[in-house]
Structure 1
Amino acid sequence: MGEFELIRNFFAAAPCAQVGEGVALGIGDDCALLDVPFGEQLAISTDTLVAGVHFADPCDPFLLGQRSLAVAASDLAAMGATPLAFTLALTLPAVEADWLEAFARGLNLMAQGCGLRLIGGDTTRGPLCLTLTVFGRVPRGQALTRSAARPGDLLCVGGELGNAAGALPLVLGQRSATPAIAEPLLAHYWSPQPQLALGQALRGKASSALDISDGLLADCGHIALASKVRLLIENDRIPVSLALQEFLGDADAQQAALSGGDDYVLAFTLAAVELPTLLADGWPIHVIGRVVEGQGVGLLDVHGQDITPTIRGYQHFRSE
């Protein structure tokens, strides 16, 4: 099967690849064409997932299709953007029809759930690797960034942390667990749900935001650096699921929540006056700390003592 036949058979005919709102021209030409309304800006982000680094190899291609797009779409949520479209660059060691059918099905399911349309990409032969670029739109001047946190702001997250990191021993076949414990952890790993609606609700309210991909401590460090402030996290206020606690125990569950990564939950800062309205609207917001003058990130115990660990999250190319 050639490259163009592969694209036609598994991707171009998918529901998510059809022209719709915001997409004037999709798959089939040298470029796609996107329509962005007057007064809005285009938000763009690219993620690459490598077999054996970002996901187990081999793995279920249907689940991989979901996860690969969710990871990329989460960046749109972090900016408060409304999803428009995405491209897929797919490197495959060989063409396997069953694998491609399942992958495309998972990709399409997540795309439709996120409101994203497939508008192009590339296919090539080589070690399994996926590169997805997502496009969204946001009213001019309202994009959430990492650089405007202010002393006195609250530090918040949009849900429980650590579930995906807790699922890793299950994904790798190193441990097993009852369905009541395993299923919610595995669901968070393979099918994270980008917090797109929350990101849009935070426009004009949050002073900074990002999605947690490399661990809470590490990613909060990006806000601290960009905003030139210090973030103080209260260890006992970090939301951890019951399933994670039962699977790992309290101490390891807390460590997973702090530095495990792959959560794809929003972390953000906002003025205290903004919190009541957001909570009244039903958003799953947890206050976990505050912004102060200074630099870096600190972790405090229940007595206010600094217990910040040395290793804070995942980094590519970190020296051992």
Structure 2
Amino acid sequence: MPSEFQLIQQFFQREQAEQPAEGVLLGIGDDCALLQIPAGKQLAVSVDTLVADVHFPRDADPELIAERALRTNLSDLAAMGADPLWFTLALTLPEANEDWLRSFSRGLFKCARAYGIALVGGDTTSGPLSITIQVMGATQPQHTLRRDGANIGDFVLVTNFVGDGAAALAAIQNTQQFTDEHTDYLQQRFYRPTPRLAESALIRELASSALDISDGLVADLQHICDASDLGAVIDVENLPLSPALKSLNNDAQAYQWALSGGDDYELCFTVQPEKMADIAMLIAQGELQATVIGEMIAGGKVICEYEGEPFKLAKTGYQHF
């Protein structure tokens, strides 16, 4: 059985060494990586752990598991308006399965190359399958997206579609039937969510606050409310739904998934009224896909309304415990 260091050398260190990254003075192989932050930038750091059969099926394709793990972490950089730089990886494995590691490594580096982020260190250990990734990115201090900048009257927007993450899980678990075309689309949305880095770069000089939607739109928008000491109202009828969700012909279910399902990894952001013309121009030019779904108000809670009437939620979002 190969040792920890042989596994690192075979599947992670060798490939990364072939593609040296900017700012990496010393990468994989020593006790610490040595990194040079770009001049005039701030370092944004985030870490998440994905656990088998909690965040992904343990019997899923390892290449897709790797893509999901890195992409969901990259979404945190997008939420802050950060450009990707480096990441670390800690793998807990039930066994040293070389075929599994080869496939996982292939998916990991394919994604890393696509988004211009370099692996600079990590760890492997024995135990139940879990993946911990720490991402690092650079932000411009004056254009960092935070949760505490919203104001009363700001519009609330989301990128792309919401609700696909929950719909994808239902499709994977066979609790909801979709056409083959929509099932393929939802599988991609689950295993290969798009970190909205390009959209983040467009809005970071315009948005007053932002975050990514991981635990559910209502639960995550509540974080902006808490940080900004405000409330928000969501106009449920304006939620952007994908063709897959619309195909259900069940608006009640689709809206529940969109509001509280989570795993969408879209951006939710707020914009002051005087900057909405710039956002509208980006949308009209096809550079940004985003929808106004509500506004920030006084108070401390997220309120959901459908055509002006209260809309009842079955749950507010994903609970970690």
Q: TM-score, structure 1 length as denominator?
A: 0.95
More divergent stretch after superposition (15-24 vs 254-263): 15-24
Change (3 A) 1:298 1:55: same
Aligned partner of residue 150 in structure 2, secondary structure: coil
Write the mapping of 1:106-125 to structure 2, written as runs, cut at 5 A: 106-125=107-126
Looking at structure 2, the residues matched to 268 and 169 of structure 1 have their Cα atoms a distance apart, in angstroms, of: 27
Partner in structure 1 of residue 289 of structure 2: 284
User: What CA RMSD, in Å, does the superposition of the two structures yield over aligned residues?
Assistant: 1.5
Change (3 A) 1:62 1:247: farther
Change (3 A) 1:104 1:267: same
Change (3 A) 1:314 1:151: same
**Equivalent residue letter for 1:293:** A
Partner in structure 1 of residue 128 of structure 2: 127
Aligned partner of residue 13 in structure 1, secondary structure: helix
Looking at structure 2, the residues matched to 299 and 248 of structure 1 have their Cα atoms a distance apart, in angstroms, of: 21
Contact 2:157 2:270 in 1 (8 A): yes
Looking at structure 2, the residues matched to 268 and 248 of structure 1 have their Cα atoms a distance apart, in angstroms, of: 28
**Equivalent residue letter for 2:224:** I
Candidates 281, 299, 313, aligned match of 1:309: 313
Q: How far does residue 14 in structure 1 lie from its aligned partner after superposition?
A: 2.3
Change (3 A) 1:248 1:164: farther
More divergent stretch after superposition (193-202 vs 231-240): 193-202
Q: Is 2:12 aligned against 1:11?
A: yes
Looking at structure 1, the residues matched to 186 and 250 of structure 2 have their Cα atoms a distance apart, in angstroms, of: 14
**Structure 2, unaligned runs of 5 or more:** none
Q: How far does residue 195 in structure 1 lie from its aligned partner after superposition?
A: 0.4
Aligned partner of residue 309 in structure 2, secondary structure: coil
Write the mapping of 1:48-127 to structure 2, written as runs, cut at 5 A: 48-127=49-128
Partner in structure 1 of residue 185 of structure 2: 184
Contact 1:23 1:84 in 2 (8 A): no
Change (3 A) 1:248 1:36: farther
Aligned partner of residue 125 in structure 2, secondary structure: strand
Aligned residues, how many?
316
Change (3 A) 1:310 1:255: closer
Q: Which runs of 4+ in 1 moved over 6 A?
A: none
Contact 1:17 1:27 in 2 (8 A): no
Looking at structure 2, the residues matched to 9 and 249 of structure 1 have their Cα atoms a distance apart, in angstroms, of: 49
Contact 2:87 2:134 in 1 (8 A): yes
Partner in structure 2 of residue 244 of structure 1: 245
Q: How far does residue 17 in structure 1 lie from its aligned partner after superposition?
A: 7.1
Partner in structure 2 of residue 293 of structure 1: 298
Partner in structure 2 of residue 260 of structure 1: 261
**Structure 1, unaligned runs of 5 or more:** none
- Identity value in percent: 45
**Equivalent residue letter for 1:131:** T
Looking at structure 2, the residues matched to 173 and 105 of structure 1 have their Cα atoms a distance apart, in angstroms, of: 28
1:230-272 CA-partner distances (Å, limit 9, x unpaired): 1110000000011122247322111111111100000000112
Q: How far does residue 156 in structure 1 lie from its aligned partner after superposition?
A: 0.3
Partner in structure 2 of residue 36 of structure 1: 37
Q: How far does residue 110 in structure 1 lie from its aligned partner after superposition?
A: 1.2
Aligned partner of residue 256 in structure 1, secondary structure: helix
Looking at structure 2, the residues matched to 17 and 178 of structure 1 have their Cα atoms a distance apart, in angstroms, of: 42
Partner in structure 2 of residue 226 of structure 1: 227
Contact 2:178 2:244 in 1 (8 A): no
Partner in structure 2 of residue 171 of structure 1: 172
**Equivalent residue letter for 1:204:** E
Change (3 A) 1:17 1:134: farther
Q: How far does residue 202 in structure 1 lie from its aligned partner after superposition?
A: 1.8
**Equivalent residue letter for 1:156:** L
Change (3 A) 1:244 1:2: same
Contact 1:56 1:171 in 2 (8 A): no
Q: Is 2:154 aligned against 1:149?
A: no
Change (3 A) 1:178 1:19: same
